[in-house]
Structure 1
Amino acid sequence: MDTSFLETLKDYLQEIIFSVGPDLLYSIVALVIGILIIKMIMRILKAALRKSKVELSLKTFVESLSIFVLYGLLFTLIGSILGVKTTSFLAIFGAAGIAIGLALQGSLANFAGGVLILVFKPFKVGDLINVNATTGFVKNIDILYTRIETFDGRVITMPNGNVANSDVDNRTMNPLRRMDLSLKFAFDIKMGTIRPIIIDAMKSHPIVEKNPEPDVWLEEIGESEIRVTARSWVESEYYWPTFWEQ
């Protein structure tokens, strides 16, 4: 192999190392320090959010958004250290943003949906809701997704865009919820006899509210039975335990 070629290649590599090496080293140091600073900022932010009276739904959203913004700023700083001009960096981000926006329209819709959920508050973390044929407790509201835990222990992850555009049945938003019990009796049983017995039984339950008062209504006269509905009010969080006890 030609010795002059090797010498030229060696000189070229040394020139690159001496010209790019310091910036590359600085960028690595900045990356390490930046990650440590971001972790410290996130710890402080999480501690501040825990001490504040901010809802858990907003806390998780703010944490996710903060991580995204902080790492974006860090990569911008590293780019400037490596010699990428700020205007060029913004142009790159702008072009990349347009391309990513077209490719990730659904994700942008999910982000907008998450903002709408936090602003209008159709539900919050801990609420029992029914949405898109799924019933469960809201476990987490992220910048893109909402997670719901069902009664049988499954965790359903739904895009915020779909949730924000769907009918949401929030079953714990109001402090009280009406409980309707359907009961069947033989034809020879008179309403005047069973009505006070059922009402007294509901009033004696420690969870059933005294106001509004429980009541019983004749619902239907069937072919072989009469059907009545016993109605009472309970605190929303105790609805199902009380329902199965009645």
Structure 2
Amino acid sequence: MDTSFIDSIKSFFKETLVSLGPKLLYSIIVFILGMLIIKLIMRLLKATLKKSKVELSLKTFVESLSVFILYGLLFTLIGSILGIKATSFLAIFGAAGIAIGLALQGSLANFAGGVLILVFKPFKAGDLIAVNQHKGHVVKVDILYTRIKTFDGRIITMPNGNVANSDVDNRTMEPTRRIDLELRFTYKTDIDQIREVVLKALKSHKQIETDPEPDVWLEEFLESEMRIVARCWVDSQLYWPVFWEQMESVKKSLDIAGLEISMPQRVVYQGGDYIIKEKNQ
């Protein structure tokens, strides 16, 4: 074998080692120090998130995103030490981002919706919400999906992108809720007697709030009857049990007092007189 060829190869490796040796040494040092710094930053970040009231799903997301960004910066720095231009890394990250974005358009919308929900907290696990014609208690809020359990025991999984762009009725965000009972009576019925009987029935329940106190008001004049609305406040978590119990209590109290709730009726005229032809129960 030609000795000049071997000498040229040796010379090439020697020059390469001399030129890249310090850079490789610096890169190794930077890599080791970078790993230590990343571990320290992540430890501080986890401690901060642990003390905060951030949702668990959001904590996991922030930690994963932070690790990705920190390692990206570290490898970009090492690449620049080795002589690789930062624009090359930016081009790679940009192309990867575009490809991932096109492939996961729907998932990215859910991801963005999940971040908004976890940050602004329109609801949390355990809340009773109504959204997109679904009603139930929130079981879990992930970064992509929200799961609720309906009153009949079904689990509804909703994409966060849809939830974040919909009207969310959170019925347990406030500590108390108002119960509205709508009653209808004929115009001959004494309003003061109605108020006295219904208020007594409402106040007899031990779980209603005393401030504000229950009230009963004439709400509207209709064609053949008047609409009375009875209101009381209750703990949001006890709304439905108390609502049903109050309905039953008011009905029994009205029966005892001899006050009849108005029923729709049809009147048929015969000549100058009229008779009630039909009553709808």
| Higher relative contact order, chain-length normalized (CA < 8 Å, sep 6+) | 1
Give me the CA root mean square deviation: 3.8
Q: Which runs of 5+ in 2 are unaligned?
A: 1-45, 71-85, 247-281
User: How many angstroms does 1:186 deviate by?
Assistant: 4.3
2:120 matched to which residue of 1?
120
Deviations 1:117-152 (CA, angstroms, capped at 9, x unpaired): 111111111111111111111111111111111111
1:180 corresponds to 2:180: yes
Q: How far apart are 1:54 and its partner, in Å?
A: 3.5
Q: Does 2:53 align with 1:54? A: yes
The SS at the match of 1:54 is coil
Q: For 2:62 and 2:134, how far apart are their aligned partners in 1?
A: 27
- CA shift at 1:165, angstroms? 1.1
8 Å CA contact 1:144, 1:160 repeated in 2: yes
Cα distance in 2 between the residues matched to 1:63 and 1:205: 45
Is residue 213 of structure 2 the alignment partner of residue 213 of structure 1? yes
CA-to-aligned-CA distance 1:157-212 (integer Å, 9 cap, x gap): 11111111111111111111111011233444211112011111111211111110
* TM-score normalised by structure 1 residue count: 0.65
> 1:154–1:69: structure 2 CA closer, same or farther, 3 Å change rule?
farther
Matched letter for residue 178 of structure 1: R
Aligned pair count reads 198
Give unmatched runs, 5+ long, in structure 1. 1-44, 74-86
SS of 1:180's equivalent in the other structure is: strand
SS in 2 for 1:229: strand
Q: Could you tell me how far 1:216 is from its partner in structure 2?
A: 0.6
Aligned 8 A contact 1:219 1:227 in 2 = yes
Alignment partners' CA distance in 2, 1:61 and 1:241: 34
Q: Assess if the C-alpha contact under 8 Å between 1:65 and 1:143 holds in 2.
A: no
Q: Secondary structure at the match of 1:166?
A: coil
Percentage of identical aligned residues: 63
Separation of aligned partners in 2, 1:145 and 1:69: 22
Larger deviation: 187-196 or 122-131?
Answer: 187-196
For the Cα contact (< 8 Å) 1:146–1:160, is it kept in 2?
A: yes
Aligned-pair distance for 1:53?
Answer: 7.0
Structure 1 or 2, whichever has the larger Rg, is 2
User: After alignment, is 61-70 or 185-194 more displaced?
Assistant: 61-70
SS in structure 2 at match of 1:136: strand
TM-score norm. by structure 2 comes to 0.58
